[in-house]
């Protein structure tokens, strides 16, 4: 089984770890359902130490 590796995000205020706000998919049924549909979350993260909430990143428009 391969695992998806994502870079660890660090809080700019205190240096703590930023954790995703949306619930994590844990069961194989949730993972399969998540792969079939687009992610509903906004991708925000919150610091586990100080509570810093990462701002929503604006959508990047494709270059013409």
Q: What is the largest CA-CA distance in the chain?
A: 41
Output 8 or 64, whichever has higher pLDDT: 8
3-state helix, strand, coil in the chain (%, to 5): 15, 15, 70
Output 38 or 63, whichever has higher pLDDT: 63
pLDDT in tens, 6-56: 678 899 999 999 988 887 777 888 778 765 554 555 678 899 999 999 887
What is the model's pLDDT at position 43?
72
Q: Which residues contact 40 (CB under 8 A, 6 or more apart)?
A: 22
Query: What ranges do the domains of the chain cover?
Result: 1-57
Q: Which residues contact 21 (CB under 8 A, 6 or more apart)?
A: 41, 44, 45, 46, 53
What is the model's pLDDT at position 62?
61
């Amino acid at each position: 089984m391969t695992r998806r590796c994502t870079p660890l995000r660090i809080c700019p205020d205190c240096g703590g770890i930023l954790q995703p706000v949306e619930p994590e998919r844990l069961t194989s049924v949730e993972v399969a359902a998540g792969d079939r549909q687009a992610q509903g979350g906004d991708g925000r993260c919150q610091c586990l130490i100080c509570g810093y909430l990462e701002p929503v990143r604006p959508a990047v428009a494709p270059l013409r």
